[in-house]
Amino acid sequence: MNKRFLLFVFPVLLYACSGKKADEQVIIEKPAVNITDGQFTPEILWSLGRLGEMTVSPDGKQIAYTLTYTDIKQNKSNAEIYIMSVNGGEATRLTKTAESEFNPVWKDNNNLLFCRDDKLISINIKTKDEMTLGVFENGIEGFRLAPDGKSIVYITTIPVKRPPHIDKLYEGLSKTTGRINEDLMYRHWDQWVDDYPQIFIAKFDGTIDIEHSTSIIDSTFECPIRPFGGIEQFNYSPDSKMIVYTCRKKTGYDYAISTNSDIYIYDIENGTTINISKDNTGYDQNPVFSHDGTMIAWESMERDGYESDKQRLVIYELATGTLSDLTTDFDYSVSNIAWSDDDNELFAIVPFRGMEEIFSFNRSTNSIRQITHGYHDITSFELKGENIIATQASMQYPNEIFAYLTKDEKSEGKKLSTYNDDILGQVKMGKVEEHWIKTVDGKDMLTWLIYPYDYDSTKTYPVLLFCEGGPQSMVSQFWSLRWNFEVMSGAGYFVIAPNRRGCIGFGSEWCEEVSGDYGGLCMKDYISAADYFTKNTKQIDANRLGACGASFGGFSIFWLAGHNEDHRFKVFLAHNGMFNFEQEFLETEELWCDLWEYGGPYWDKSPRVQKSYAESPHRFVDRWNTPICVIHSELDYRIAASQGMAAYNAAKLRGIEARYLYFPDESHWVQKPQNSILWHRNFIDWFDKHLK
């Protein structure tokens, strides 16, 4: 359930290839927006440009990035490539097509490579002349260019082949829709596993020699790892002679119950592969070579099955095979690792006390320092000498491009991009406050309070308690197309957003207190946050308190609905939440998560496991007494749609006022523009009905 880094990346690519052919489609442009009352609405949310990938030119002078705009009537979005100086200022639009461009890579200071549909294309940034370098039969999901410019490694998909004894049953049945499976992981996240990604290497001498490309993976394993892996999971060595990559070399049942991925080195010349992390049993991922080619750094989790374990920063020395951990005494996770030019420092994004910040880890002194600081989330960054070009967001603005320096100490950065300034300049954003409140066991918990956009201290307002998903994810300064606090603020609500037990970014002990105790301290943390603000903020009307959440947050809503005897909460909304733990355990595909979180299958009679399943919300339906809206999507294979339907049916059978919103074509998120608008309108309408 801990899919915390997906809020920003997916919408860039998902809407480009539906409906008519591209040459028949209207090219999507930036919409004209005129806001008169300052209210931030779902429609305005979808009018903003959404920053995708970003890369800095070899000379460090230019930034190429993808920017997505949406046409709600067409129900699609489209990404284009833009070029901007590293000093900021006006950007130049490089592409203008009805298809989305993605994965921009600098070939040199004047030429950019990128993907469009199933093609890899080169464009001259001055003349805008394009040349198609290769067309990929099974599509291309991303690529890396070798440092010497003589080859590429690209991601494409390989069809899954039926075993012979099953395949013979399909003879003469070309129109059958039946699926026969004899193993687990036959579907994953939002797709049936009909193919899997692999990485191939191909020569590049002006065009891509696809016909003679070579698969780097030695069997039918995923690389990158579904559903979220991309080009960050493999890299070239500086001399272009080796590929280092991430792979979980498991299939079926073994894949479904384990998170044990490893780091492999592929020797391009002789085609041999070695595993350099085989002694570690948890996630190992996203390897990066040092500039001198003697070391590889990556993110590493120790424990198999625990997808939210601390991500350590480990370094492997190729000459000796020695492995070291730069985060032994650092109780936070790292991601997006980058080496300094002299390979003495490593930089990484760290979830830290409610923000995502860049930290530096010094190999010589073993010292750690914080580079960035502020109410924001750093979502990615790239190093060029002493310059850091980062993408960052906050609760008050979507991803923008900022500049920092490696020598900075808690800098708030310099904003470079301006593509949303004209729209955001017309809206009134709700103020965001940081509060540290006491929990029932005397600990301090960071809770965000977001004010209504039209706040007047002489008035009182309704309030929503936001229940975070994960369960091990942080209520950070994220910007979302769904759980957008400024849309809630724009609808006239206070929002209480606590970092309850289980959230990362507050140390391992705080994070791990949720596993096996879903109905325990984490639920009391919600109550503590709600009670604190309804009692201490006079502008909050305690009689107009609602609660909402998705995934683990959706479970939280179902659980709170069964423990609302005092009618503290007047209305609930649950999205894609777990309702019946026993059924959910048998329906989910990523079994490693439930095996860790619950402690085992429900037929395991050990006290810890039975304690976990005893907190299943369906056991407390007899206590439900509050209106509830349930939302679920058919393509959510992480928490199947039957969970939402069962919760809604239970409410109706109990005589509880209830509403059910169902999406047959969405997954764990709602990503299609018109579906999202409906989601938001329903959200606001439901709470307005009961709290206004």
List the catalytic residue out of 190, 636, 676, 680.
Answer: 636
Question: Cα(227)–Cα(245) distance, rounded to whole angstroms?
Answer: 16
List the catalytic residue out of 376, 668, 680, 690.
Answer: 668
Q: Is 215 a catalytic residue?
A: no
Q: Provide φ and ψ at 611, rounded to 5°.
A: -65, -40
DSSP per-residue codes, 563-625: T-TT---SEEEEES----HHHHHHH-S-HHHHHHHHSS-TT--SHHHHHHHTT-GGGGGGG--
Q: DSSP label at 71? A: E
Number of H helices, E strands in the chain: 13, 38
Taking alpha carbons only, the member of 152, 86, 69, 84 closest to residue 113 is 152
Q: Cβ distance 96 to 29 under 8 Å? A: no
Question: Residue 456 corresponds to which tokens in the numbers above?
Answer: 């007047």
Q: Provide φ and ψ at 490, rounded to 5°.
A: -65, -25
DSSP per-residue codes, 324-381: EETTTT--S--EEEEE-TTSSEEEEEEEETTEEEEEEEETTT--EEE-B-SSSEEEEE
Task: Please report which helix (H) or strand (E) contains residue 673, including its range.
Answer: helix 673-691
Q: For residue 129, count other CB atoms closer than 10 A to its CB.
A: 10
Q: Provide φ and ψ at 432, rounded to 5°.
A: -115, 125
Q: Cβ distance 283 to 299 under 8 Å? A: yes
Relative to beta strand 571-575, strand 540-550 is parallel
Query: Which positions ≥6 away from 273 have C-beta within 8 Å?
Result: 216, 218, 264, 265, 266, 267
Taking alpha carbons only, the member of 494, 487, 501 closest to residue 445 is 501
Q: Is 435 a catalytic residue?
A: no
Angle (nearest 5°) at CA 53 between 49 and 56? 115
Q: Is 632 a catalytic residue?
A: no
Question: Which residues, in sequence order, are bridge partners of residue 630?
Answer: 574, 660
Question: Cα(305)–Cα(536) distance, rounded to whole angstroms?
Answer: 42
DSSP per-residue codes, 426-491: TS-PPPEEEEEEE-TTS-EEEEEEE--TT--TTS-EEEEEEE--TTT----S---SSS-HHHHHHT
Query: Which positions ≥6 away from 129 have C-beta within 8 Å?
Result: 123
Q: Cβ distance 433 to 448 under 8 Å? A: yes
DSSP per-residue codes, 261-328: -EEEEEETTT--EEES-TT--S-EEEEEE-TTSSEEEEEE--STT-TTS--EEEEEETTT--EEETTT
Question: Cα(577)–Cα(558) distance, rounded to whole angstroms?
Answer: 8
Taking alpha carbons only, the member of 107, 195, 213 closest to residue 154 is 213
Question: Cα(656)–Cα(625) distance, rounded to whole angstroms?
Answer: 6
Question: Cα(104)–Cα(125) distance, rounded to whole angstroms?
Answer: 12
- Residue 268's identity, in one-letter code, is I
Question: Cα(373)–Cα(370) distance, rounded to whole angstroms?
Answer: 8
List the catalytic residue out of 77, 151, 261, 551.
Answer: 551
Relative to beta strand 355-362, strand 151-159 is unpaired
Query: Which positions ≥6 away from 13 have C-beta within 8 Å?
Result: 52, 79, 100, 102
Active site residues: 551, 636, 668
